[in-house]
Amino acid sequence: MAKISNMKAINLACFDEFARDDKVIVIGEAVGQKGGAWGYFTGLMAKFGANRMLDMPIAEPAFCAFACGTTLAGYRPIVEFMFADFVTIGLENIMNMAAKQRYNSGGVNSCPIVYLLPQGGGASGSQHSQSVEAWMSNMPGIKIVAPTFPGDMKKYLQASIRDDDPVVFIFQRAIFGLQEEVPDNLPVPGSLLNASRVVKEGTDVTIVAYQRALINSIQAAKELEEEGISVEIIDPIVLRPLDTAKMFASVKKTGRCLIVHEAPKIGGFGMQISALIAENCLGDLAKPIVRLGGKEQPIAFGKACDLYMFPKVEEIKAEIRALVR
């Protein structure tokens, strides 16, 4: 058991999977000597060799296509994007190539690629702070994993690397340093199914949230306990395939639901969660579903970014109070 950060969790997951399967490789910019833009590949090249850490020119379209090419020979590439916002540059070869690789071969060709996408607010402005999970979600063939806590980060990154399909693995820069105790031999889930978990139990309101919005929701719930409001919080962890059982059970219990994420509400992934809850639990709802998201505008640079752009603890508390009123 050791206390590790999200950053360390990614590093340890890579070490474990590199040792387990010599077909696991990393493709990206400055991933070798430097260990990637954020450093989570630190030490991998020294231990496993330069052949498995493919430093690429700044050419996301070609290195995303390159990754697909390696899977045809049995490799399992981890493709790193410096910022999730840059996924647009490689998107063609994720959406048009990787997502279709299995179907176009009549089910024969696997495409086990993990795309690492550090996303979200962090005072970096309009082109380095966006949340991209919804952009990726309207695409059969793709799986989406979005963990928040170091333990989930480690085991679900390992599960994603072992998965035979392209997995968009999204995590938030603002909580890179978030720490928790993680057992040394954390079991790796056999699939990405049934991934969601109840982070906090409660009886009055259900919150579904992930990443920093989840951290803020937990804080809000804690503070509201003093006001006598009991909040239950669900972390989906995997957005596609989305595990709905726990969130449906929770909503049936509380009759009230708040969904929180940093991406803007319009077209955000909360729309999908909200729709599923409405389709399946409408009769159990005492109040309409409420969603909180980022501002409907480009993200401002600097401190304004985090102060005004994303759902804050106070805003979450206000919505919960309104729901139970």
Partner 1 sequence: MNLSNEQLLEIYEYINYARCMGERLEYFIKTGKILGAIHLPKGQEGLQAGLIMTLMDARKNGIKIYTNPHTRDQALMSKLIGLQPYADEMLCKTSGINGGTSGEYHMTCVEKGFLPAQGVLGPVWGQNAGFAWALKDQGKTDSVVWGIYGDGASSRGDAWEAMNIAALFKVPMVFVVVNNGWAMANPVEKEAPVQDLSLRAQGSGMRGITVDGNDPIAVFEAMVEANKLAMSGEPNLVEFKVTRWGGHFLGDNQEVYRDTSFLKHLDDIDPVLNYHKKLLAMGLVKEEDLKRVHDEQDAIILKVYEEGMNKPAPTVDEICDPNKVYGGAY
Active-site amino acid positions: 128
Shortest Cβ 71–partner 1 spacing (Å)? 8
In this structure, how many other beta carbons lie within 10 angstroms of the beta carbon of residue 106? Answer: 7
Q: Is the N-terminal amide bond of 241 cis, ω within 30° of 0?
A: yes
Shortest Cβ 299–partner 1 spacing (Å)? 27
b (16+ CB within 10 A) / e for 224-239: beeeebebbbbbbbbb
Sign of CA dihedral 81, 87, 93, 96: positive
Question: Which DSSP category does 297 fall into?
Answer: S
Both tokens of 254, joined, read 């509380």
Shortest Cβ 56–partner 1 spacing (Å)? 7
Shortest Cβ 92–partner 1 spacing (Å)? 6
Rounded Cα distance between 96 and 155, Å, is 28
Element (H, E) at 313: helix 313-324
Contact assessment for residue 170 and residue 6, using Cβ atoms and an 8 Å cutoff: no
Between residues 70 and 126, which has the closer beta carbon with respect to partner 1?
70
Between residues 56 and 174, which has the closer beta carbon with respect to partner 1?
56
Shortest Cβ 64–partner 1 spacing (Å)? 7
Between residues 85 and 165, which has the closer beta carbon with respect to partner 1?
165
Between residues 139 and 214, which has the closer beta carbon with respect to partner 1?
139
DSSP 107-132: T------EEEEEES-SSB-TTSS---
Shortest Cβ 74–partner 1 spacing (Å)? 8
Applying CB under 8 A, the residues found at the interface with partner 1 are 51, 54, 56-57, 59, 61-70, 72-75, 92-93, 96-97, 100-110, 140-141, 143, 163-165, 191-193, 241
Rounded Cα distance between 237 and 85, Å, is 20
With CA atoms as reference, report the closest residue to 162 among 99, 95, 101, 78.
78
Task: Give one word for 201, left, alpha or beta, with left for phi > 0 and alpha for psi -120 to 50.
Answer: beta
With CA atoms as reference, report the closest residue to 146 among 122, 136, 127, 292.
136
